[in-house]
Amino acid sequence: MNNATTLLHSIPVDPATGSISVPIYQTSTFVQESPGVNKGYDYARSGNPTRATLESLVAKLENGAIGAAFGSGLAAIDAVLKLLKSGDEIVAVDDIYGGAFRLFTQVYEQFGITVKYVDASDVENVFNAVSEKTKLIWIETPTNPTLKIADIAAIAKIASSQKCILCVDNTFASPALQQPLSLGADLVVHSATKYLGGHSDLIAGVVVARDKALGDRIRFIQNASGAILGPFDSWLLIRGIETLYLRVKQHCANAAKIAEYLAAHPAVDKVYYPGLPTHRNHDIAKKQSSGFGGVVSFSLKNDTIDAAVQVVTATHLFKLAESLGGAKSLVSHPAQMTHKSI
C-alpha cells in the first residue's frame, strides 16, 4: 500500500458506534469513577479523544514518536522555544516567516535568548554560526517566502555533533513531500492551517518529535501553557489530512506550470521555485523531497512597491490574501503583508 492508503486506514473507526468519521468530543471535562480514577481523560486541556486521534495521525505522517496539536502555528513554534532558557542561543534561517521573526526578536530576546540569522541554504553558514551556547537550530525548507532549500540531513549532523535540537518548519513542503525526522531532525512544526487543513477554514499548529523524551517535554509545555487545539478544529484537521496526498499532488502540478510561465515572462526578473532546474538547491530539493510544493515566488524587473501592488490587485482568479495550501489560489505581497514585521 502507498503512504496515502496506509494513512487513511490508520484513522480509527469509533469502537462504540462503528462511526467511520472520528467523533467530536465537544466537552470540557470528563466524569471520573472515583477521585483520580478516570477512563484516560480528566480535563480537556490535558487531553481530548478527538485531539488525541489527530496527534497520533500527525505523528504517523511525520514518522515521529509523539505529536502535539496547538491553537495556531505560532503557538506550536512558541512551545518549541519554551524548551530554551536565558543565555541559550538559536541559529535560525534568515529567510524566516515574519510571525516567527517577531516572536523570536520581540518576545524571546527580552528573556535573554539570542538569535543568529544565517542563510541556511549553504550548510557552511550554519556550521560557522553554531557555538557552545547554541541549543536550537531552526530552519524552514522551503523558506517563506523565497523558497530557499536547506540540506536537512547535513544540518542534522551539525546539530547532533553540537548536541543541540534541530527543528524544521515543514509547512511549505508538508509531510506528503518531505519527512524531516527521517532525515535526522529532532522536531517538526507545521502551521496546520495550510496544507494539512487544506480548506482555509481553521487555524492550527502541530509539533512532532522524533523521540518520546523530547515529545513528552513538548506535551508538558502544551498542557502547562494551555495553547491547545479544540475538538472541532481537531476534527476539521483530521478531515483535511484525509485528502492531503491528493491535494498536494495537484498543488505541485499547478505550481510547476505557473513557475515555468513566469520564468518566460518578459516582465519577470527572477522566479523562486525549487522545481526549476535553475534553482540554486534544486538537486537537494530533489534528494530530500518527493515534490516541490504549491508556492511560487517571483520578482519584477520593475522592482517597485507600486508595480508589485499593481500585479497582486489585478489577478482574476487569485485572491489577495495571506496563507497557502487551501483549495483557492492566493496571491500576496510579503513585504506589506506576511513579512511586514521584518
Residue 233 and residue 279 in one domain = no
Residue 272 and residue 145 in one domain = no
169 catalytically annotated = yes
Kindly give, in sequence order, each residue whose CB lies less than 8 Å from that of residue 65, ignoring residues fewer than 6 positions away: 59, 209, 210, 211, 212, 215
Residue 63 and residue 85 in one domain = yes
Which CATH number belongs to the domain containing residue 252 in this structure? 3.90.1150.10
Q: Which of 116, 194, 219, 247 is catalytic?
A: 194
Is 300 within the bounds of a domain?
Answer: yes
Is 91 within the bounds of a domain?
Answer: yes
In this prediction, residue 313 carries a pLDDT of 92
What is the band of 126 on the pLDDT scale with cuts at 50, 70, 90? very high
From the list 258, 320, 234, the residue with the least C-alpha distance to 56 is 234
Residue 118 and residue 188 in one domain = yes
Is 341 within the bounds of a domain?
Answer: no
| From 191-195, 291-295, 299-303, the region with the lowest mean pLDDT | 299-303
Residue 19 and residue 87 in one domain = yes
Report, in angstroms and rounded to the nearest whole number, the Rg of the chain calculated over CA atoms.
20
Beta strands at 187-191 and 205-209: parallel, antiparallel or unpaired: antiparallel
Last residue of a domain, one of 187, 222, 241: 241
Residue 266 and residue 253 in one domain = yes
Asked if pLDDT for residue 342 goes beyond 70, the answer is no
Residue 250 and residue 175 in one domain = no
* Local structure of residue 22 (DSSP, 8 states): P
Kindly give, in sequence order, each residue whose CB lies less than 8 Å from that of residue 265, ignoring residues fewer than 6 positions away: none
> How high is the mean pLDDT of the chain?
96
Last residue of a domain, one of 241, 258, 291: 241
Residue 199 and residue 250 in one domain = no
Which CATH number belongs to the domain containing residue 111 in this structure? 3.40.640.10
Over residues 180-198, the mean pLDDT reads 99
Is 210 within the bounds of a domain?
Answer: yes
Q: Which of 60, 78, 88, 97 is catalytic?
A: 97
280 catalytically annotated = no
Is 342 within the bounds of a domain?
Answer: no
Over residues 311-315, the mean pLDDT reads 92
In this prediction, residue 235 carries a pLDDT of 99
pTM, full prediction: 0.95
Q: pLDDT tens digits, residue range 204-223?
A: 999 999 999 999 999 999 99
Domain boundaries, position 198? 3-241
Asked if pLDDT for residue 1 goes beyond 60, the answer is no
> Taking a C-beta distance cutoff of 8 angstroms, is the pair 69, 206 a contact?
yes
In this prediction, residue 7 carries a pLDDT of 84
97 catalytically annotated = yes
Residue 59 and residue 178 in one domain = yes
Q: pLDDT tens digits, residue range 11-65?
A: 999 988 999 999 999 999 999 999 999 999 999 999 999 999 999 999 999 999 9
Residue 115 and residue 148 in one domain = yes
Residue 175 and residue 277 in one domain = no
108 catalytically annotated = no
Last residue of a domain, one of 187, 212, 241: 241
Q: Which of 95, 169, 186, 233 is catalytic?
A: 169
Q: Which of 41, 42, 45, 270 is catalytic?
A: 45
Q: How many domains does the chain have?
A: 2
Q: Can you tell me the distance from the alpha carbon of 32 to that of 37, in angstroms, rounded to the nearest whole number? A: 6
Residue 109 and residue 93 in one domain = yes
